[in-house]
């Protein structure tokens, strides 16, 4: 492991260009960005939403392995066998998880097996070393204003075997993919979706998918931030015709905005800044300018704001009028089974500090603090998401009580987390430690993907909420593990049991 990290750091050090070129795909004069079509799942199928955490190659491979298991699970709908993976409606990802999120967005869930093979065979460190030792790279860094982040983007294009643009993502029949980065200045989640790119006056369809993945995976310090120009700040304003339907402004127009919902107020304020708009206050009529003027945005790893991807997922499900607005799906009776699968490749890295009194250097401290901050942000996002599910369930019960039977649905929150592996025996503990220690640096050891695949199946089948789903929709597949005894899915069931389907005898 140390050899790998050393090699990676050496390669990165050799690639330290000082480029300052901002990326820009401006919306041309009079041009519009088509907004994302609404998600319209069939009420006869479950809606599966997934989050892919950070954790480099380990996270990408684990996410693909979970989807590969969903490929092998089937149920009967309208007399036909259907894979559970066909029902993946939304994917929210950060960092390493975004690499597989891009793949599922471009190629669909059926490609998971190919991706697993690709990532097992890919040698990211070797790729970076070759580039570092290539004089052409030095010239590009010196004279073409390139930086380390450009090199990472090229590596990810090679790994994903694509230079497709965002126009190829989020097409009918494929999940809505939300690639999330962090705005270095504000700490806000920056999602590479149609709305946000429209806000910064970018032509969504020209933005390379690899740019979104790179920003999402730009591990701070190791890689320079992705630098975007916000064309909302051109002296003549955005030349294109941006989306003009802006209900977000109500949160800023009303003095009660920051009291009614501080988080959505801050998100709205961030949008206002990206769009460079003034807001007219409702009571006084005063015009309020943006709270900051981000002419340039520096985007780093999405894991800095939330390494789970849950924040962006929750916002996608919450926002009224958004493509995946859960309120609309409930109102239209499109939801019977909501399956939330949160794939988390988090580990507990071993530290020499546990057994040493040696002096704690500034570097060691910075490393520890940054790790703790990322873990805390993710834990907070998970707690907030849990609260969101609870409130959603309470509202469901109220609507059903008030005579809206179409609002009845069941929720299955399924976490895939190494901490849920059994650890009673020494062998089990060693096995858990082995998967937690799988490299994040895009060069996996032989057998790593197979190990992650085995664990993914086991974690899925052990989960009590997954077992509940199996029974509820008559899911057919080969169990990879026994259920955990005497364990209930910790979510309140719906007031009326949703339609249960059984496989034919």
Partner 1 sequence: MAIVRIRFDGGEVPIVTGSFPPDESTPIDLPSETDFVTNKAFIVDQGIYCFGLQTDIPHKPLWQRVQAVDGVPAQVSFARAT
Stretch that binds partner 1, among 91-99, 216-224, 240-248, 442-450 (CB under 8 A): 240-248
Could you say whether residue 383 binds partner 1 (CB under 8 A)? no
DSSP-derived secondary structure letter, 498:
P
How near is the Cβ of 49 to partner 1 at its closest, in Å?
16
Q: What are phi and psi of 341, to 5 degrees?
A: -110, 115
> Per CB under 8 A, which of residues 176..205 are in contact with partner 1?
none
**Bridge partner list, 74:** 83, 476
Could you say whether residue 321 binds partner 1 (CB under 8 A)? yes
User: Quick one: 130 or 280, whose CB is closer to partner 1?
Assistant: 280
**Bridge partner list, 414:** 341
Stretch that binds partner 1, among 392-400, 433-441, 460-468, 473-481 (CB under 8 A): 392-400
How near is the Cβ of 333 to partner 1 at its closest, in Å?
11
Could you say whether residue 398 binds partner 1 (CB under 8 A)? yes
Stretch that binds partner 1, among 184-192, 313-321, 424-432, 475-483 (CB under 8 A): 313-321
Q: How long a stretch of residues is the chain?
A: 505
Structure tokens, 470 = 């199996």
Stretch that binds partner 1, among 184-192, 217-225, 302-310, 314-322 (CB under 8 A): 314-322
How near is the Cβ of 279 to partner 1 at its closest, in Å?
8
> Per CB under 8 A, which of residues 410..449 are in contact with partner 1?
none
Buried b or exposed e, range 93-107, using 16+ CB within 10 angstroms: bbbbbbbbbbbbbbb
Q: Which residue has the tokens 């149609």?
A: 194
> Per CB under 8 A, which of residues 362..381 are in contact with partner 1?
none
User: Quick one: 227 or 326, whose CB is closer to partner 1?
Assistant: 326
Structure tokens, 112 = 């998971």
Among 114, 165, 404, 420, which residue interacts with partner 1 (rule: CB under 8 A)? 404
Stretch that binds partner 1, among 215-223, 368-376, 398-406, 413-421 (CB under 8 A): 398-406
User: Quick one: 332 or 367, whose CB is closer to partner 1?
Assistant: 332
* Number of Cα atoms under 13 Å in the Cβ half of residue 309: 34
Among 244, 362, 427, 505, which residue interacts with partner 1 (rule: CB under 8 A)? 244
Among 25, 223, 270, 388, which residue interacts with partner 1 (rule: CB under 8 A)? 388
User: Quick one: 247 or 368, whose CB is closer to partner 1?
Assistant: 247
User: Quick one: 253 or 423, whose CB is closer to partner 1?
Assistant: 253
Q: Which residue has the tokens 């050496």?
A: 10
> Per CB under 8 A, which of residues 120..149 are in contact with partner 1?
none
User: Quick one: 364 or 404, whose CB is closer to partner 1?
Assistant: 404
Q: 333: how many CB neighbours lie within 10 A of its CB?
A: 14
Which residues, at least 6 apart from 413, have a Cβ–Cβ distance to it below 8 Å? 340, 342, 386, 389, 465, 489, 491
Is residue 417 a contact partner of residue 505, using CB atoms and an 8 Å limit? no
**Bridge partner list, 114:** none
**Bridge partner list, 191:** 180
For residue 11, give the 3-state DSSP assignment: helix
Is residue 35 a contact partner of residue 176, using CB atoms and an 8 Å limit? no
Q: Cα(125)–Cα(130) distance, rounded to whole angstroms?
A: 9
How near is the Cβ of 268 to partner 1 at its closest, in Å?
9
Q: For 442-474, what is the HEC assignment?
A: CECCCCHHHHHHHHHHHHHHHCHHHHHHHHHHC
Is residue 268 a contact partner of residue 195, using CB atoms and an 8 Å limit? no
Q: Cα(243)–Cα(228) distance, rounded to whole angstroms?
A: 20
Which residues, at least 6 apart from 28, have a Cβ–Cβ distance to it below 8 Å? 203, 239, 240
How near is the Cβ of 281 to partner 1 at its closest, in Å?
9
Q: Tell me the CA distances in angstroms from 489 to 483, 484, 493, one per residue in order.
A: 11, 11, 9
How near is the Cβ of 113 to partner 1 at its closest, in Å?
37
> Per CB under 8 A, which of residues 32..51 are in contact with partner 1?
38
User: Quick one: 395 or 454, whose CB is closer to partner 1?
Assistant: 395
> Per CB under 8 A, which of residues 251..290 are in contact with partner 1?
251, 253-254, 256-257, 260-261, 264-265, 280, 282, 285
Q: Cα(445)–Cα(373) distance, rounded to whole angstroms?
A: 29
User: Quick one: 233 or 248, whose CB is closer to partner 1?
Assistant: 248
DSSP-derived secondary structure letter, 38:
P
**Bridge partner list, 330:** none
User: Quick one: 391 or 488, whose CB is closer to partner 1?
Assistant: 391
Among 26, 113, 220, 327, which residue interacts with partner 1 (rule: CB under 8 A)? 327
Is residue 343 a contact partner of residue 53, using CB atoms and an 8 Å limit? yes
Among 181, 218, 326, 449, which residue interacts with partner 1 (rule: CB under 8 A)? 326
User: Quick one: 354 or 402, whose CB is closer to partner 1?
Assistant: 402
User: Quick one: 185 or 400, whose CB is closer to partner 1?
Assistant: 400
Q: Binding residues for partner 1, per CB under 8 A? A: 38, 244-247, 249-251, 253-254, 256-257, 260-261, 264-265, 280, 282, 285, 318-321, 325-328, 330-332, 388, 391-392, 394-396, 398-399, 402, 404
């Amino acid at each position: 492991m140390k050899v790998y990290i050393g090699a990676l750091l050496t390669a990165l050090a050799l690639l330290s260009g000082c480029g300052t070129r901002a990326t820009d795909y401006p919306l041309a004069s009079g041009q519009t960005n088509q907004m994302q079509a609404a998600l319209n799942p069939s009420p006869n199928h479950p809606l599966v939403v997934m989050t892919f955490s950070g954790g480099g190659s380990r996270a990408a491979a684990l996410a693909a392995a979970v989807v590969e298991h969903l490929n092998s699970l089937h149920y009967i709908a309208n007399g036909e066998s259907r894979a559970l993976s066909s029902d993946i409606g939304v994917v929210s990802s950060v960092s390493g998880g975004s690499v597989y999120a891009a793949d599922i967005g471009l190629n669909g869930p059926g490609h998971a097996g190919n991706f697993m093979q690709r990532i097992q065979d890919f040698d990211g460190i070797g790729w970076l070393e070759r580039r570092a030792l290539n004089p052409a790279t030095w010239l590009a860094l010196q004279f073409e204003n390139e930086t380390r982040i450009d090199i990472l983007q090229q590596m990810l294009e090679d790994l994903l075997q694509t230079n497709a643009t965002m126009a190829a993502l989020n097409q009918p029949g494929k999940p809505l993919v939300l690639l999330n980065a962090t705005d270095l200045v504000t700490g806000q989640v920056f999602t590479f979706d149609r709305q946000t790119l429209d806000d910064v006056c970018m032509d969504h369809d020209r933005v390379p998918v690899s740019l979104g993945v790179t920003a999402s995976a730009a591990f701070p310090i190791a890689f320079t931030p992705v630098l975007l120009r916000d064309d909302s700040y051109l002296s003549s304003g955005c030349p294109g015709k941006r989306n003009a339907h802006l209900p977000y402004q109500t949160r800023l127009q009303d003095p009660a905005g920051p009291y009614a919902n501080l988080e959505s107020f801050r998100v709205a304020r961030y949008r206002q800044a990206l769009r460079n708009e003034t807001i007219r206050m409702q009571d006084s009529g005063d015009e309020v300018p943006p709270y900051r003027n981000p002419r340039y945005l520096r985007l780093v790893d999405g894991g800095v704001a939330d390494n789970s991807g849950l924040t962006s997922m929750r916002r996608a499900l919450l926002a009224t009028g958004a493509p995946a607005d859960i309120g609309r799906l409930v109102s239209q009776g499109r939801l019977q089974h909501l399956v939330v699968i949160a794939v988390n490749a988090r580990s507990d890295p071993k530290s020499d500090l546990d057994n040493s009194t040696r002096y704690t250097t500034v570097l060691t401290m910075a490393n520890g603090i940054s790790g703790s901050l990322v873990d805390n942000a993710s834990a907070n996002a998970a707690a907030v998401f849990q609260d969101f599910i609870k409130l959603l369930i309470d509202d469901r019960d109220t609507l059903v009580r008030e005579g809206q039977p179409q609002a009845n649905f069941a929720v299955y929150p399924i976490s895939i987390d190494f901490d849920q592996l059994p650890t009673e025996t020494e062998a089990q503990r060693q096995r858990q430690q082995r998967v937690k220690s799988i490299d994040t640096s895009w060069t996996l050891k032989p057998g790593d993907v197979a190990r992650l695949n085995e664990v993914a199946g086991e974690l899925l089948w052990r989960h009590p909420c997954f077992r509940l789903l199996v029974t509820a929709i008559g899911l057919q597949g080969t169990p990879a593990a026994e259920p955990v005894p005497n364990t209930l899915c910790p979510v309140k069931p719906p007031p009326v049991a949703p339609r249960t389907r059984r496989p034919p005898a």
